[in-house]
């Protein structure tokens, strides 16, 4: 099987060179055609998605990520069209200078070449990755999980059909078998693949980081906090907490822990009021438990343990931590954060400015729901992932983050001795 996969890798690498010959107008036409096909082929895609859903229990936290609907396909198509409207990230002059000897140096943006994406039960990633990679001149190799294999194969077949109508090499996007051997081969595809981006659980990300022989950009787990400061406004805080927790519990920007200043414990029932409707289970520390007892459904209120903090729930579950000071809140975030998205709710501008300055995360919010950590919401079109590391890219990764650069040197016979 490894030999066959190497042939696939070589074919994708060869196809990546053909991408350099496509102009931006053609790329945009392809993207719009893929968006149209996502809608036109919705019955086929959804039927294949149902096969995947049938193998997963509805209570599985990954079920919502796996599920496609007509509305979600319309959203995916809209994101694809948005990418087509964005300016090309390629060929940008990042720096230009002429040296004393007359030699001209130009630093310009270029594709990575071939990008490998490893992801779990998220079939929307197949569309998102293709659109961003095509727009940025990259070929892509997709390695989805077995949970979403029928969905992913349906999506790639639709994309290949569109590419065929444009006489474009279909190897610019390939979907590998959904088994571990294919994962191992991709992580070891030195000389064929330029970059690996894992999207999924912390276990997946750790496995890729520990086993890849190719450069990796981590799109880490989202353990997200919202700190309700002693100067916070209750209605604003309640709306932010409700939205961040319940909009979509299975996504990485969902709220996992509310930190509340002890002076505002009296307001905790109001802050959590709307969570009742979604049957959110709250794991509260002793002070928070006492403040909520009698005001929050007993069957949904539990005592927190050490494991309640620093956990990405991906479910209708949330922890509450009481702190004595702003400094204690910062300490709790530093100890438990995955450096994804962190929020403060406060009307004190100095306190907000300190939070922004001190908190180490890819996205730091003041009085805004963490649900906005998303490439489309940031105006990037779709996103290829949310990087929680600091090298090369951080936060939602759009077109610019999946390009590199090269130096072009022009002269007239200069030599160096």
* Three-class DSSP labels, 30-55: HHHHHHHHHHHCHHHHHHHHHHHHCC
Lowest-confidence pick of 42-46, 144-148, 239-243 = 144-148
Q: Is residue 125 assigned to a domain?
A: yes
| Confidence tier at 220 by pLDDT (50, 70, 90) | low
Q: What is the mean pLDDT of residues 377-389?
A: 81
Strand, helix or coil at 369? Answer: coil
Q: Is residue 334 assigned to a domain?
A: yes
Q: What is the mean pLDDT of residues 160-184?
A: 96
Residue 363 sits in the same domain as residue 229: yes
Residue 210 sits in the same domain as residue 312: no
CB-based contact 171:14 (threshold 8 Å): yes
- Interstrand relation of 104-111 and 403-410 (parallel, antiparallel or unpaired): antiparallel
Backbone angle region of 20, left / alpha / beta, with phi > 0 → left and psi within -120 to 50 → alpha:
alpha
Q: Is residue 385 assigned to a domain?
A: no
Q: What is the mean pLDDT of residues 84-97?
A: 95
CATH number of the CATH domain containing 307 = 3.40.309.10
Taking the CB of residue 349, how many other CB atoms lie within 10 A of it?
Answer: 10
| Confidence tier at 345 by pLDDT (50, 70, 90) | very high
Residue 409 has pLDDT above 70, yes or no: yes
Residue 266 sits in the same domain as residue 187: no
Residue 80 sits in the same domain as residue 110: yes
Q: What is the mean pLDDT of residues 190-218?
A: 90
Q: Range of 101's domain?
A: 5-217+401-410
Give pTM, 2 decimals.
0.85
Q: Is residue 389 assigned to a domain?
A: no
Residue 151 sits in the same domain as residue 39: yes
d(CA 344, CA 375): 21
Residue 196 sits in the same domain as residue 231: no
Higher pLDDT, 411 or 204: 411
pLDDT at 389: 83
pLDDT at 164: 97
Residue 185 sits in the same domain as residue 277: no
Report percent pLDDT > 70 for the chain: 99
In this structure, what token pair is assigned to residue 256? 């996992």
Residue 132 has pLDDT above 90, yes or no: yes
| Confidence tier at 10 by pLDDT (50, 70, 90) | very high
Q: What is the torsional sign of CA 275, 281, 286, 291?
A: positive
Q: What is the mean pLDDT of residues 229-247?
A: 97
Which residue from 415, 406, 416 is spatially nearest to 95, judged by alpha carbons?
406
CA distances from 70 to 45, 160, 415 (A): 10, 21, 62
Q: Is residue 133 assigned to a domain?
A: yes
Q: Is residue 384 assigned to a domain?
A: no
pLDDT at 1: 60
CA distances from 290 to 238, 284, 298, 300, 301 (A): 19, 9, 12, 14, 10
Residue 392 has pLDDT above 90, yes or no: no
pLDDT at 15: 96
pLDDT at 381: 67
d(CA 332, CA 38): 44
pLDDT at 324: 97
Residue 111 has pLDDT above 90, yes or no: yes
238-263 burial, b if ≥16 CB within 10 A, otherwise e? bbbbbbbbbeebbbbbbbbbbbbbee
Quickly count helices (H) and strands (E) in the chain: 14, 16
Q: Is residue 50 assigned to a domain?
A: yes
Residue 179 sits in the same domain as residue 275: no
Q: What is the mean pLDDT of residues 46-50?
A: 98
Residue 238 sits in the same domain as residue 187: no
Number of domains in the chain: 2
CATH number of the CATH domain containing 179 = 3.40.605.10
Residue 234 sits in the same domain as residue 199: no
In this structure, what token pair is assigned to residue 204? 């997946």
| Confidence tier at 199 by pLDDT (50, 70, 90) | confident
Higher pLDDT, 309 or 378: 309
pLDDT at 218: 82
With 0-12 / 13-18 / 19 or more C-beta atoms within 10 angstroms meaning exposed / middle / buried, residue 23 is exposed
Residue 26 sits in the same domain as residue 94: yes
Higher pLDDT, 64 or 105: 105
Q: Is residue 309 assigned to a domain?
A: yes
pLDDT at 383: 77
Residue 91 has pLDDT above 80, yes or no: yes
Residue 2 has pLDDT above 70, yes or no: no
Residue 137 sits in the same domain as residue 190: yes
Q: What is the mean pLDDT of residues 389-404?
A: 88
pLDDT at 123: 94
Give the residue ranges of DSSP H helices in 247-371: 268-272, 286-292, 326-336, 349-358
């Amino acid at each position: 099987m490894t030999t066959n996969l190497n042939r696939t890798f070589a074919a994708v690498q060869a196809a990546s060179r053909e991408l350099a010959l496509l102009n931006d107008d053609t790329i945009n036409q392809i993207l719009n055609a893929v968006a149209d096909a996502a809608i036109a082929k919705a019955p086929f895609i959804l039927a294949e998605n149902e096969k995947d859903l049938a193998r997963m229990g509805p209570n599985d936290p990954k079920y919502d990520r796996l599920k496609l609907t007509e509305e979600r396909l319309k959203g995916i198509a809209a994101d694809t069209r948005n990418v087509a409207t964005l300016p090309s990230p390629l060929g940008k002059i990042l720096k230009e200078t002429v040296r004393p000897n007359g030699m001209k140096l130009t630093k310009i943006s270029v594709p990575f070449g071939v990008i490998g994406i490893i992801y779990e039960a998220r079939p929307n990633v197949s569309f998102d990755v293709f659109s961003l990679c095509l727009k940025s001149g990259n070929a892509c190799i997709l390695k989805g999980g077995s949970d979403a294999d029928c969905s992913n194969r349906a999506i790639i077949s639709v994309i290949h059909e569109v590419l065929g109508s444009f006489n474009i090499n279909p190897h610019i996007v390939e979907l590998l078998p959904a088994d571990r051997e294919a994962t191992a081969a991709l992580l070891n595809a030195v000389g064929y693949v330029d970059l690996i981006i894992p999207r999924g659980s912390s276990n997946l990300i750790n496995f890729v980081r520990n086993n890849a022989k190719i450069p990796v950009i981590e799109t880490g787990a989202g353990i997200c906090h919202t700190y309700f400061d002693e100067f916070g406004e209750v209605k604003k805080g309640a709306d932010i907490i409700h939205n961040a927790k319940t909009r979509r519990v299975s996504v990485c920007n969902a709220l996992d822990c509310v930190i509340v200043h002890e002076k505002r414990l009296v307001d905790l029932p109001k802050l959590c009021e709307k969570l009742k409707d979604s049957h959110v289970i709250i794991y509260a520390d002793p002070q928070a438990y006492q403040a909520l007892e009698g005001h929050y459904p007993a069957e949904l209120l539990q005592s927190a343990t050490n494991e309640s903090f620093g956990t990405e729930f991906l479910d209708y579950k949330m922890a509450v931590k009481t702190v004595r000071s702003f400094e204690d809140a910062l300490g709790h975030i530093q100890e438990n954060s995955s450096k994804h998205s962190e929020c403060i709710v406060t009307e004190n501008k100095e306190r907000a400015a300190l939070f922004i300055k001190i908190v180490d995360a890819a996205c730091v919010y003041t009085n805004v729901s963490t649900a906005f950590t998303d490439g489309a919401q940031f105006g990037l079109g779709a996103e290829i992932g949310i990087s929680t590391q600091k090298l090369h890219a951080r936060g939602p990764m759009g077109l610019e983050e999946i390009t590199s650069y090269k130096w072009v040197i022009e002269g007239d016979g200069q030599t160096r001795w």
